[in-house]
Structure 1
Amino acid sequence: MANKNNSTLFQTLSRLAPQLRPIMWPLIWGFLSALAASAVALAVPQVYRSLVNKALLPGTGTQALWVGAGVVLVLGLLEAALISLRRQFVIVPVTTVETRMRTSFYRHLQNLAVEFHDRWGSGQLLSRAMSDLNFMRRWMAFGAIMLVVTALTVVIGVVLMFSMSWELGLIFLAAAVPISIFGFRFRRSYGRVSRKSQDQAGDLATTVEESVHGIRVLKAFGRGQEALDAFAGQAQELQATEIHKAKSLAVFSLVVTLLPELALGSGLVVGILLVSNGRLDVGALVAFFATAAVVAGPVESMGPLLAMTFAAKTALDRHFEVIDAVTTIEDPAVPVELAAVRGDLEFRGVHFRFPDTPSGTPDLLNGIDLTLHAGETMALVGVTGSGKSALLNLVPRLFDVSSGAVLLDGTDIRLLRLAELRRHVSVAFEDTTLFSHSVRENVLLGAPEQSGESSHLSGDEALERALEVAQAGFAHTLGNGVDTLIGEEGLSLSGGQRQRVALARAIAARPAVLVLDDPLSALDVNTEERVMDRLRVELAGTTTLIVAHRPSTVAMADRVALLQDGRITAVGTHSELLAGNSHYRYVLASLTEEPRDLDTGVDDDLADDFGAESLGTNLPIHKPKGAGA
């Protein structure tokens, strides 16, 4: 989590200026409409004063009374119209600002490096993108305008009250001093508790999201009650914070409501004495208290409006904590264009350490030198935690090298635009991530634009070719075929199905370099062999670097690189390393066959037929060729 922001209210709110500048005139018109509505409300007591002093005199007819009533009615209708105008002026512009800020926030999230997302909980980011900006929109549309209008209404009202009776005005003004002192203290305490509340709400959202994504694990291990207890604890902490907020606001509202009421009570006694002494007429007394009644509403609303403003500052601080995060992986100032990409890949003196690695700890990758020739398939093996996945993540620049360089066709990849680099490099991870869209949309996610020169296949052709190579024909047997929505993160599919869809997505991109982080771990050996055979044919000329956790994967590679102690200690064919490298034999012995994905556990002939896989659970399970009894 980022550090808490210690900026002042003015400093934080001033950062909204670039967003508000394009809609300044609608906001000004909305403000003027609200101010005019308050002015109209303050004009009504002056009508009362005239009525009392003139229409109620002995012998006066009813005409003045009806005229006065008509004026009050017109003023009431005008006030309602002005309030409606205020809303009409500001609603569309502020929702536009909200949308623009939310889109900018999402764009920035996409540009931030993976290391940022590793540190931040998804619920915290979600609450900033949704709840905080939604609150900001409400504050811009109502809170900000009404806070200023309310303050001006109180000032104008007090001036009018002084004009009618300076003695009564002083009594009312005396109540403002303790309110101002208490308001200053309230600002500081409420700001802290508001920040704590919004952070806790973000943590709670993260817990909900993690529990929903991990519901199968919680159910399988019978840990639902433990998860519920932990969630309830967090919810109770948030509840306690919200109660503390509510109590603080209640005390402030008590003060700003009670003191003016006491002032009015005292003013009533003094006012009657002034009238009895002839120093104040009855109309002025009525107008004074009518004005005080109009001012009382804004005074009472000052507490909630201030609370809303402080909460808006907190929401903005939280928003800018993310916006201010530095994008560490960016396009170069002067990018290099690659006319044609062969696929030669080289790691030259590569060092890498995670940003939060304690000082004095050796680099995870400590001088990697490795060359892959265009069209070659190389397996990368090593013990768990040796840095295989980190090495693969350097190729599409999900992470950047700490020193050294990764070269594509002899060009440092940091000199290429990210979009171009990732157009030439395609990735499939072991932990597959699919989106809540159709199979078609997931597979074609990284496919080249059909209008571009890099693609010679139509969308349907690219889809079918990728599904066939990845042995993902089961997609045609789903409810709506390849247009079936697969649910959040693809959890409606089995592990092997998800991996094959993710592999099809990487294949559909038709890259020059294919990076595979053990994407076949959930497949049985027969299906894995078919996939690799098809990959060789379909992606002939594509350089493939694959992290291998199974001997069968290693055996199908052209060459194997052994990662040991942060370095590549041996490179050769599987047979060469098996015969001449003891550490390679040790690593290979530690690689075990993964449990088969049952939806692929059919014999070769049936599995070659699109649609046969949907019957897999009803067919006899065949052991992979060569497997023991």
Structure 2
Amino acid sequence: MPPDTADPSPRPTVESFRGSGAPGADASTVRALARLLPFVRPALPRLVAGGVSALGASLAALAIPRVLQHVVDGPLAAGAEAHDTGALWSALALVLALGLAEAGLILLRRSLVMLPGTRVEAVMRGVLFRHLQDLPVAFHDRWAGGQLLSRSMSDLGLLRRWLVFGLLQLVVSTATVVVGVALLVATTGWLGLVYLVGAVPVTVIVFRFSRRFRAISRRSQDQAGDLATAVEESVHGIRVLKAFGRGRDALDQFTGQAEELRRTELAKAGQQARINVSLTLIPEATLAVCLVLGAWLAHTDQITVGALTAFFATAAVINGPVVDLGMTLSMTLNARTAVDRFFEVVDTANPLTDPPDPQVPDRPAGRVVLRDVTFRHDDDGAPVLDHLDLELPAGTTTALVGLTGSGKSTLAMLVPRLYDVTGGAVELDGVDVRRMRRADVRRAVAVAFEDPTLFSASVRENVLLGVDDALPAAERERRLREALEVAQAGFVDDLPHGLDTRIGEEGLSLSGGQRQRLALARAIAARPRVLVLDDPLSALDVATEEAVTARLRDVLAGTTSLIIAHRPSTVALADRVAVLRDGRVTAVGTHSHLLATDPHYRYVISSLEDDAAEHGVGALDAPGDGVDGDGGDAATTRETTLDDEATGARL
């Protein structure tokens, strides 16, 4: 089934997770991370249970010092001759039980949170990928692939680790410190207050660290995305780099970006090191003060030795989370950055949406009308197409010709609604394509691009990409074979595993002509009402092009076809020709008629002939049509000086 067709299975959608009050970049970390709640909600029971288990483990650890205080102030304080052996063994058993309970609860926490954490990651990745597929081509023109890859892989992996470890560690550490300090204040008075005073500079340092580290974290993750883009571009363009001997240049550029990322990571590590030093020194210095004060209090009998022992044992339990606070906090801030980057994509609205009340043509025949069409890539940019009008009658083949940059490929994108018109309308069988479901439009319109894209799948899967999975296997196989035969793609039978041969990434294991033929076969197999071909034969040799052209005439019978012609031989496929100039269709007619009446058409065809001759490609096989050479209102010097008789003979 094509990607745009409806899927009856319930799946999370972007709209179900996109909040109306999305926080901006300056929002608090808590508000930013709270946006994860819709994703986390199904896993919340297990995560809460894991948090309770972790909290129970911390409370068990905090209970051990209380037992030690009882032992020191009880049996041990009575003297060797009065030791209560039973009480000592009972205390030992209780400490052992508390230790085992702590270990068991930690194990339970891990088993509870790992599975839901991976599910949350999978759901978020699925939502992001579906949204990326749904977003228009214009979005992908602006965004680098490496940035999107880093968001869907490394950022979401970071969020999973934070959910199953960082978040619980932050909550449990906070609870441990609060409960522990409360016990210290309640049981040791002044000692507890002194320890509490030590938390003031820690709080100030943590606040300052958060502000600085967040900016560095965002810069680091953005630079990692840029580095992924550099790798992606170099791998995809490896043939070009090798052919031109530019591998060293690519390496230098990559090394520069990697060095920039390394410096940022060092800055991050420096920030973490400074806060770790502070979070280690301040509590240890506080304990040194408490040791002196505690010794004096014990000497003056203001506290017991057992209470002093319990104080330092409890402080040791508290110090662990305090020292780890730097790591936990940095992980939390990294997670906040990952959330911002994730929603930066997810919050991107798709302007190409399905209408609330979609329409379906009453008589689907394949008639296409472009009515007063204007298109701009940017709101303030110059129009690529300017009040263009063109009709493609049902069942006819129209060749679209024009000079480079005239807007031919852009026009081809408008018919299947890969772009939306800025003004005017594109109608399919009398219905504006914006009033139809995108899936319906793209089932009716198939496209074969000049630069074919194949996927890392088998030949069969690539060719049948646009064929409905619900069709019987025999019909799918028949379409597959017919499409391959029309596209002259018999070479697939010589591949190692025939139709089941897996094509490498982007089909780079095949030649350019082989990739084009498979892409053409894919468009033919879809059996669309409208077929848009953007110079699909440019990489073929003359003999193969002639064979494909002969079969295409048969298969295009009854199909409305728009062929973007970059070579004169492609015009031979068409019933009529439309001339595109400065964003408008200036003439429509047969090849013979346009040769006789349109100077700009003669100029375009002459230019295409020159390019074909330069590249050794066959010329248009058409007789001289008695060009009258009226000259018209030629737009360029070359057009006005063309030798019409010579042009007619050559064409």
TM-score by length of 2: 0.89
Q: Show the counterpart of 1:276.
A: 299
Q: CA offsets per residue over residues 81-108 of structure 1, 9 Å max, x none?
A: 1111112222212211111111011111
> SS in structure 1 opposite 2:536?
coil
Conserved? CA contact 2:361–2:430, under 8 Å: no
Structure 2 partner of 1:485 = 502
Matched, 1:215 2:238: yes
Q: Which residue of 2 aligns with 1:143?
A: 166
The reply to whether residue 543 of structure 1 matches residue 560 of structure 2 is yes
Alignment-derived partner of residue 609 in structure 1: none
> What's 1:475 paired with?
492
Distance 1:442 1:538 in 2: 20
Selected match of 1:363 from 360, 365, 383: 383
Give the alignment of 1:88-487 within 5 angstroms. Answer: 88-355=111-378, 359=380, 361-451=381-471, 458-487=475-504
Letter in 2 for 1:48: L
1:24-35 aligned at under 5 Å gives the runs 24-35=44-55
Structure 1 residue 256: Cα displacement: 0.9
For residue 501 of structure 1, what is the amino acid of its counterpart?
Answer: L
Select 2:584's aligned residue among 564, 567, 570. 567
Opposite residue 52 of structure 1, the aligned amino acid is V
Q: How many Å apart are 1:11 and its aligned residue?
A: 1.9
Distance 1:157 1:440 in 2: 65
The correspondence for 2:606, drawn from 578, 589, 599, is 589
Instruction: Tell whether the 8 Å contact from 2:360 to 2:431 is kept in structure 1 after alignment.
Output: no
The answer to whether the 8 A contact 1:434-1:490 is kept is yes
State whether structure 2 residue 38 is matched by structure 1 residue 15: no
SS of 2:358's partner is coil
Write the letter of the residue equivalent to 2:569. S
What amino acid sits opposite 2:612 in the alignment?
Answer: E
TM-superposed CA distance for 1:456, in Å, is 9.9
Q: CA deviation at 1:8?
A: 1.8
Please say if residues 127 and 205 of structure 1, whose CA atoms lie closer than 8 Å, have aligned partners that are also in contact: yes
- 1:528-559 Cα shifts (integer Å, max 9, x gaps): 12212212212320011011111111133111
Given that 1:550 and 1:594 are in contact with CA atoms closer than 8 Å, whether structure 2 keeps it comes out as no
Query: 1: distance between equivalents of 2:252 and 2:341?
Result: 28
1:332·1:417 contact (CA, 8 Å) conserved in 2?
yes
- 1:53 aligns to what? 73
CA distance in 2, matches of 1:38, 1:23: 23
Distance 1:283 1:9 in 2: 42
Paired AA for residue 105 in structure 1: L
The correspondence for 1:512, drawn from 522, 526, 529, is 529
Question: Would the alpha carbon gap of residues 151 and 131 (structure 1) be closer, same or farther in structure 2, given more than 3 Å must change?
Answer: same
Report the AA paired with residue 209 of structure 2.
F
- Structure 1 residue 445 displacement after superposition: 0.3
Residues 525, 552 of structure 1: 8 Å contact kept: no
- Give the secondary-structure state (helix, strand or coil) at the position aligned to 1:370: strand
Cα distance, 1:341–1:372 mapped onto 2, change above 3 Å: same
- Distance in 2, matches of 1:130 and 1:181, equals 34
Letter in 1 for 2:250: A
Q: Is the 8 A contact 2:414 2:421 kept in 1?
A: yes
**Partner SS, residue 445 of structure 1:** coil
* Counterpart AA for 1:283: G
Counterpart of 1:192 in 2: which secondary structure? helix
Decide whether the 8 Å contact of 2:55 with 2:172 is kept in 1: yes
Counterpart of 2:642 in structure 1 is none
CA contact (8 A) 1:524 1:595 kept: no
Aligned to 1:612: none
- Name whichever of 335-344 and 386-395 sits farther off: 335-344
Q: How many angstroms apart in 2 are the aligned matches of 1:597 and 1:384?
A: 20
Query: Would the aligned equivalents of 1:380 and 1:563 in 2 still touch at CA under 8 Å?
Result: yes
C-alpha distance in 1, partners of 2:516/2:251? Answer: 31
Could you tell me which residue of structure 1 aligns to residue 107 of structure 2? 84
Give the residue type in structure 2 aligned to 1:31: G
SS at match of 1:366: strand
Distance (whole Å) between structure 2 residues aligned to residue 435 and residue 150 of structure 1: 48
1:40-75 superposed Cα distances (whole Å, 9 cap, x missing partner): 000001111111112313121433322222211111
Query: Per-residue deviation at 1:168?
Result: 1.0
In the alignment, residue 522 of structure 1 is paired with which amino acid?
A
Alignment partners' CA distance in 1, 2:150 and 2:546: 45
C-alpha distance in 2, partners of 1:558/1:248?
A: 70
Q: Matched residue of 2:465: which SS?
A: helix
**Secondary structure class of the residue paired with 1:146:** helix
Amino acid of the structure 2 residue aligned with 1:387: G
Q: Measure the CA separation in 2 of the matches of 1:168 and 1:439.
A: 75
Cα separation, 2, equivalents of 1:4 and 1:277: 57
Q: How far apart are the structure 2 equivalents of 1:432 and 1:7?
A: 44
Residues 593 and 27 of structure 1: is their aligned pair in 2 closer, same or farther, counting only changes over 3 Å? same
Unaligned 5+ runs, structure 2:
1-22, 619-649
* SS of match in other structure, 1:346: strand
Aligned to 1:618: none
The SS at the match of 2:612 is coil
Paired-residue identity, %: 56
CA contact 2:553–2:573 (8 Å) conserved in 1: no
Check conservation: 1:523, 1:597, Cα contact below 8 A: no
1:498 aligns with 2:515: yes
The answer to whether the Cα contact below 8 Å between 1:352 and 1:402 also exists between their aligned partners in 2 is yes
Deviation at 1:467, TM superposition (A): 0.4
SS, match of residue 540 in structure 2: coil
Contact 2:531/2:559, CA 8 A, preserved across alignment: yes
User: 2: distance between equivalents of 1:310 and 1:189?
Assistant: 10
Post-superposition CA distance 1:139-193 (Å, at most 9, x none): 1111111101101100111111112211111221121001101111111100000
Instruction: Judge which range, 437-446 or 537-546, deviates more.
Output: 537-546
TM-score of the pair, normalised by structure 1: 0.92
Determine whether 1:66 maps to 2:89. Answer: yes
Q: State how far apart, in whole Å, the 2-side matches of 1:340 and 1:509 are.
A: 20
- 3-state SS of paired residue (1:330): coil
3-state secondary structure, aligned to 1:363:
coil
What amino acid does structure 2 have at the position aligned with 1:199? Answer: D
User: Is this contact kept in 2: 1:450–1:459, CA < 8 A?
Assistant: no
Letter in 2 for 1:26: R
- CA displacement at 1:339 relative to structure 2: 4.8
Flag structure 1 segments of 5+ consecutive residues without an equivalent.
601-627
Deviation for aligned residue 1:595: 8.4
User: Does the CA contact (< 8 Å) of 2:173 and 2:321 recur in 1?
Assistant: yes
CA distance in 2, matches of 1:595, 1:444: 36
Tell me how far apart the structure 2 counterparts of residues 347 and 457 of structure 1 sit (CA, whole Å): 37
